A and B are shown apart, each in its own frame.
Chain A
Amino acid sequence: MFKFIKQKQYIPILIVIVVAFFLRVYQVDRLPPGLYDDEVSLGYNAYSLLTHGKDEYGEKFPLWFKAFGEYKLPVYIYADIIPIVILGKNELAVRFPSVLFGTLTILFLYLFLKDLLSLERKALKSKLHNIPLISSFILAITPWHIHFSRGAYESVVAVCLYMIGCWQTTQFYKKKKIISLILSLSFFILASYTYNSFRILTPITLLIIFYSLFNKNYISKKTVFLIVIYAILLHIPLLFFTLSSQGYTRFLQTSTFTKQSLPPVPSPTPYLSPISRPTSTSLRFSTPDFIAYPFIFLKNYLSYFSLQELFIKAQDNVRFYSSSEFGFLFRWQLPFLIFGFIILLREKSKILKKTILGILFAVPAVGAITISPNALRALLLNIPLSIVIAIGIQSIVQYKTLWVKIAYFGIILFGVYETALYSHMYISHYQNTHIVFWGAAQKKIVQEATFYSKNYYAIVVDEDLMQNEKIHFLFYNDKLKPLFVSGSWHKPKEWEKKRILYISYPLNDKTKAKIKLLKNITLDTPSKDVVAQFLEL
């Protein structure tokens, strides 16, 4: 590693990593604004393991963490313990594993591509020698990866572990050392213990590796057999978990085949006479599964290649996109992406083309079995896309004609402007436009409740106020222990003479007896929208 730092050729990648780290860590404690439910759950479980050795439900060092009606995989939670020890129980500590692994992904992408190119033909190697650096830079500045690395997302960690696995695999093919192969399998399997998509992607990857090991005599058949056994042994807990009701809960929640996921029927065009169309519900019952399922799958699969999603505006979970003006990639990257594809498809390569296209077409296939498009489940798609864009950039530079030079200069100029615009939108607008989708309001409620709690006998919270409110109270102040009640709750007789702090939605009708408004909780936006009221009963 120290040798790596001393060599001058590595200075550019070190600069890229520093830039990437800065883009991911800058104001990460308040941008995105507040921890949302899943982040708080991850952070609290890590804190609880650190202090009591138990999760929030009292299980001692569990492998699967119960949360919001499903089970979370363990790696992120255990990885978050050290940041909580060092930084305390706060937003920065909860998001730090994402920031760190997000940055490390860039380093491992660089190392992986270096090794992958070294396995290539000499001509291609010299033609694409800058690809590792350019790809890493593209990944470092891509909105998709930056945004997810700034939130506590298990997917970011899993992508990094997967990249380490890829790098170690190329190390094995390069040096034929068994230790690299064992490390690669271990990291691939660790990725499947980190994020659900990798529970499918990892076995596919391992099967491809085993297939190549059996076909080519890199190592003896006996060693291959032992390595397969090793991989199976590491997979056994996950396999049992996947087959249990706890394991497939998440799949049932998100599967596109168990939910009605067909799109709503579009309104008829004004140009033609309206034709009556069956509604999506009637379609579900009228279309046989063998026709509907391939169609749903195909539609989901194609949605990952929708230019609308990639470059304009993502349509899925609003928390998943970092600005209402941007998609997952920059618009200036599109010409390079197209050009990169053409170059990649034209090139005669031994392994580079297969690897990039393999990941590119496999990731959406895994994502397509759930409700799609989902940027988080397809985060790994960032890697091949960054590589293809890098190939496009490097290949265009090699053209010396004036028109190409002018076009190139124009795109770069637009690229600089668009990147600056993105930064501006993220820093200045995101806080105001997306605050409701994050947990800033919940944090404020708990902080204010802590302030008022000394003067009240009990704190009562309307359950309808916000979903999964309890975990926010546990995370920000686990000593408060509020009572969560339904909206129809009334103060019991035995508490009649006690002062109760009631936290609810802004109430229009003061039907509850003797209500006194203490405080309106507002969002930190220019419009100061009231999200909750503190009332004295």
Chain B
Amino acid sequence: MKFRYIILILLMILFAYLLKTHLLCVDYNGNFHYSSHVASFHLNELTTGDHQVPIFMVRFFHNKISVLLLDIFNRYIQFFNIFYLVNILGIAGTFGLLYFYFSLFSQKIRNKFIRIFGLIILLLPFLEIFQLIKQAFLLKITYLFLPYQIAALLGFFFFLKQKKTVSYTICFLLLLLTIGWTIVFQNDALSFCTT
């Protein structure tokens, strides 16, 4: 068995471990969901915060469209925030995911299916933001965790296929270290939860 497959299996073990250990962090409450009530409350707060400002300016800056756009952006970004990714993928997995997108956008990946898969991952958070699929949390993670993990594995696979340079070796050893460190030492308390 090739060395790179051993590393990928190790990464899968890490994902399973993280799924078991750090699931508590990601409850998809609050920051992840769009709520029209919260948005209208926020809009109200913004408009009442304006004093002695011409009404057309208040309407121009604080309207439903701008609040909606900014709010969706704020929710969407949570799904790619560094702590969220590290929670579900670990440092090495996050690196894998970033490398996957780097390879995708720099056109190192020519496979059409992988490209579509990469695009789908970018769209999946919208299902959760608007709560389009209301189901059990454990089922939910299959479309919110699994695609990320597959992309991370693919990214790591592409990274391992790279030309072996000094910076590659350093990077690889550091990532390997983080996998080992996470599995051996990291526990519930040493998590990257930010909520």
Contacts and interface: CB of A to CB of B under 8 A. Distances in A.
B24 A283 contact: no
Contacts of A269: 23-24, 26-27, 29, 137
Nearest to B99: A345
Interface string A91-123: 000000000000000000000000000000000
B136 interface: yes
Contacts of B78: 308
Interface in A337-390: 338-339, 341-342, 345-346
A483 interface: no
Nearest to A280: B189
Given A308-B78, A312-B74, A429 B49 contact: yes
Interface in A397-450: 414, 417, 420-421, 424-425, 428-429, 432-433
Given A269-B24, A302-B82, A421-B61, A275 B77 contact: no
B53 interface: yes
A514 B69 CA distance: 58
Interface in B19-68: 23-27, 29, 46, 49-51, 53, 57, 61, 66
Contacts of B106: 342, 345-346
Contacts of B53: 424, 428
B24 A275 contact: yes
A158 B50 CA distance: 36
Nearest to A312: B74
Given A266-B195, A271-B136, A307 B82 contact: yes
B61 A277 contact: no
B119 to A, nearest CB: 13
Interface in A484-515: none
Contact of A292 (B61, B69, B73, B190): B190
Contacts of A428: 49-51, 53
A243 interface: no
| Chain A: interface size category | 35 or more
A277 B189 contact: yes
B82 A429 contact: no
A417 B105 CA distance: 28
Interface string A264-280: 01111111100101101
A470 B4 CA distance: 65
A271 B27 contact: yes
Contact of A308 (B23, B69, B81, B181): B81
A342 B83 CA distance: 21
B181 A294 contact: yes
Interface residues of B, number: 42
A345 B102 contact: yes
Contacts of A526: 51
Contact of A342 (B91, B105, B193): B105
A307 B31 CA distance: 13
B158 interface: no
A291 interface: yes
Contacts of A345: 102, 106
A282 to B, nearest CB: 8
Given A269-B24, A272-B23, A307-B82, A424 B185 contact: no
Contacts of A271: 27, 136-138
A215 interface: no
A433 B49 contact: yes
Given A342-B102, A421-B66, A287 B190 contact: yes
A278 B188 contact: yes
Contacts of A268: 24
A305 interface: yes
B181 A331 contact: no
Interface string A254-271: 000000001101111111
B189 A420 contact: no
B80 A307 contact: yes
A303 B181 CA distance: 19
Interface in A296-322: 298-299, 302-303, 305-308, 311-312
A291 B77 contact: no
Contact of B193 (A266, A278, A312): A266
A277 B21 CA distance: 11
A272 B46 CA distance: 36
B86 interface: yes
A305 B66 contact: no
A295 interface: yes
A497 B186 CA distance: 69
B83 A306 contact: yes
A377 B78 CA distance: 24
Nearest to A304: B82
A263 B137 contact: no
Contacts of A305: 82
A294 B194 CA distance: 17
A280 B191 CA distance: 11
Contacts of A338: 105
A464 interface: no
A347 to B, nearest CB: 10
B189 A302 contact: no
Contacts of A283: 189-190
B49 A266 contact: no
Interface of A: 262-263, 265-272, 275, 277-278, 280, 283, 287, 291-292, 294-295, 298-299, 302-303, 305-308, 311-312, 325, 331, 334, 338-339, 341-342, 345-346, 414, 417, 420-421, 424-425, 428-429, 432-433, 526
Given A265-B193, A269-B26, A302-B86, 5 more contacts: A269-B23, A278-B188, A287-B189, A302-B82, A308-B77
- Across the A-B interface, give the 3 residue pairs with the lowest CB-CB distance, nearest first: A271-B137, A269-B27, A283-B189
7 contacts: A271-B27, A278-B188, A292-B190, A298-B91, A306-B81, A308-B81, A342-B102
